[in-house]
Amino acid sequence: REKYYGDPDFVHVPLNILLDKGYSAKRRKLIDPDHASMDLRLGNAASSRPRQENGNPNVFKGDTTHLDAVDQWGNMIAATPSGGWFASSPVITGLGFPLGSRMQMFSLDPDHANALMPGKRPRTTLTPSLVLRQGKPFMVFGTPGGDQQDQWTLQFFLNCVDFDMNMQAAVDAPTFHSSHFPASFYPHSASPGSLTVEGRVPETTISALREKGHDVQVAGDWNHGRVLGIRFDSGSGVISGVSTARLETGYAIGW
């Protein structure tokens, strides 16, 4: 992400390589199951420490929302509105909407793929997801959570498709996330080796991770991930919705 993720109108993003199974296999070989790496290995670039830009970490932090919707015909949408935090984004008089705050995601390093330039779009963390099965829309899901969105939604999806959990079990399963890489939001801080897990993760697992060198932080039992999702069974027409109980901020409704 630190090397390639930028506005494709300004930088070359080699999707054919990044999505290639052979390239993924080469990257997978870099994983040492017995030792946590403290490096940030940027694709074909040499190993390096994550870069950090100095700034005030006490800036206002707002939050994102997420919604999914599916109708009786299987039309579906996932949306993750964000970027209009009122404390830092004044409402434009007469128009009724606030200025966005996404320019804080730009890097001030001119060699960075996401470097600040006139007319350039900043990268984003937003990850509304739509899954096709046999070419037809099957599931939508997403969550608020900044750089954790990709991590939490991937865990939910794998719980459903690889571990054969029902949607509620998949969303309720304990989550984890890493802050090893530079954060998308200003001041782009990084915590090499960091791994935050929910308190329901077994102590034996936490101890094993620490022995491998991970800097494990244990959060509350139900603190992370606010995944919502809906699945549509095209055969029966049944629509199934799910919401996490975390922070009591989401819900699923049908009519």
Given 64, 80, 125, 244, the catalytic residue: 64
In the predicted model, what is the mean pLDDT of residues 184-198? 91
Mean pLDDT, all residues of the chain: 87
Check residue 137 and give its pLDDT. 93
Confidence grade of residue 61 (pLDDT, cut at 50, 70, 90): low
pLDDT for residue 36 is more than 70: yes
Confidence grade of residue 48 (pLDDT, cut at 50, 70, 90): very low
pLDDT for residue 49 is more than 70: no
Check residue 88 and give its pLDDT. 66
pLDDT 10s digits, 123-168 = 989 999 999 999 999 999 999 888 999 999 999 999 999 999 999 9
pLDDT for residue 44 is more than 80: no
pLDDT for residue 65 is more than 90: no
153 is catalytic: no
pLDDT for residue 87 is more than 80: no
pLDDT 10s digits, 196-218 = 999 999 999 999 999 999 999 99
Q: How far apart are CA 107 and CA 6, in angstroms?
A: 10
End-to-end CA distance of the chain: 41
Domain layout of the chain by residue ranges: 1-31+84-124
Confidence grade of residue 176 (pLDDT, cut at 50, 70, 90): very high
